[in-house]
Structure 1
Amino acid sequence: MTPPIPEPTLRTATLADLPALRVLVERAYRGDTARQGWTHEADLLDDERTTDEDLADAITDQAARVVVLAEADGALVGTVTVTNQGHGRSYLGMLCVDPELQAGGMGRRLIKAAERTARERFGARLMEMTVIDSRPELIAWYQRRGYVLREETRAFPVPGDHPFAMVVLENYLD
């Protein structure tokens, strides 16, 4: 009998994770590799999703936690960033799972880890996030996870002439 394959483990990212984390994020959000999954932005944007500097800042920021899902061999297969906004609020951002492994429950695990981190580390009672308004299937996925669409949109956070905006979702944490 073949031994079971261990599930990826959750942990906080370190600067040593930076190269693998950058590859994971770009694979999940941009380019042809992202199209293997369903949560990508590859049909909307063709620039880089993030930079090494931005990821390093998030990893070292005391008001943020970058959570990763790592295989037994150390390979990163998912990540989410939680940022303390103060006043009992946190922000969930850059949630992604390796495109070849999407639809297997890892995204749900990462959301639960992000919510737990927000409560325990930052004392948050509310988690907020933004999603590109032209991604109704992704918005619906978050709604099935308990997130409620607010009557608020925000400008897309990257300079340029983009034909979309960001919708705001929130979830009260238990």
Structure 2
Amino acid sequence: MAEVTIRIATRDDLPALHPVIERAYRGETARGGWTHEADLIDGARTDIPTLTAIVDDPTQCLLVALRDGTTIGCVQVSDRGQGLAYLGLLCIDPTLQAGGYGKLLVTAAEQLARDTFGAAAMEMTVIDVRRKLIEFYERRGYRVSGEKRDFPIALDPPLFMDVLVKQLA
């Protein structure tokens, strides 16, 4: 594995990061990896204003991963209060998936949640039909809580999210 730097993203990172997110989640290029939503959802995953709002929000951090100076992925950590953090927007460029970079980002996100937000637990939501992705998180110590949430976009047929939780302490 090539050397990877993981750090808190700034607004200056967003023009390079946004296309990586889109390639990882949606469209034909996403099919080159194993974590995509391309078979379930059309359209953009996010946009620069949404990413800017995350970067500017003191209750959230966006970590960016760079390999040899090139942006390869990210993960979002949000403080939910009362010792709970939320992990979202984890992605690695599809051409580099299965190379261990996602694991590095998850570990960095958990450390940030503990150190910055004082979190004792981390939760996330995963589309319930994405079994391979849920299994990836289970191997990292996350457990399906049994709680389901509606997918944030109305679709026909509807999608639902499994809530996964990990104790960080």
| Counterpart in the other structure of 2:80 | 85
Q: Where do 4+ consecutive residues of structure 1 move more than 4 Å?
A: none
Q: Give the Cα separation in 1 of the matches to 2:87 and 2:127.
A: 14
> Percent of pairs identical after alignment?
51
| Counterpart in the other structure of 1:10 | 6
**1:89 Cα shift?**
0.3
Q: Does 1:32 align with 2:36?
A: no
Q: Give the Cα separation in 2 of the matches to 1:123 and 1:162.
A: 38
Alignment of 1:138-153 (within 5 A): 138-153=133-148
Q: Does 1:119 align with 2:108?
A: no
**1:94 Cα shift?**
0.4
- Give TM-score, length-normalised by structure 2: 0.96
Unaligned stretches of 5+ residues in structure 1: none
Report the AA paired with residue 98 of structure 2: A
Q: Give the Cα separation in 2 of the matches to 1:159 and 1:54.
A: 19
- Give TM-score, length-normalised by structure 1: 0.94
Q: What do the CA deviations read for 1:16-65 (whole angstroms, capped 9, x no partner)?
A: 01111110100000011100000000010111100111100001110001
Q: Give the Cα separation in 1 of the matches to 2:160 and 2:108.
A: 27
Moved more, 124-133 or 159-168: 159-168
Residue pair 1:156, 1:162 contacting (<8 A) in 2 also: no
Name the count of aligned residue pairs. 169
Q: Secondary structure at the match of 2:86?
A: strand
**1:71 Cα shift?**
2.1
Q: Give the Cα separation in 2 of the matches to 1:75 and 1:57.
A: 23
Unaligned stretches of 5+ residues in structure 2: none
| Counterpart in the other structure of 1:48 | 44
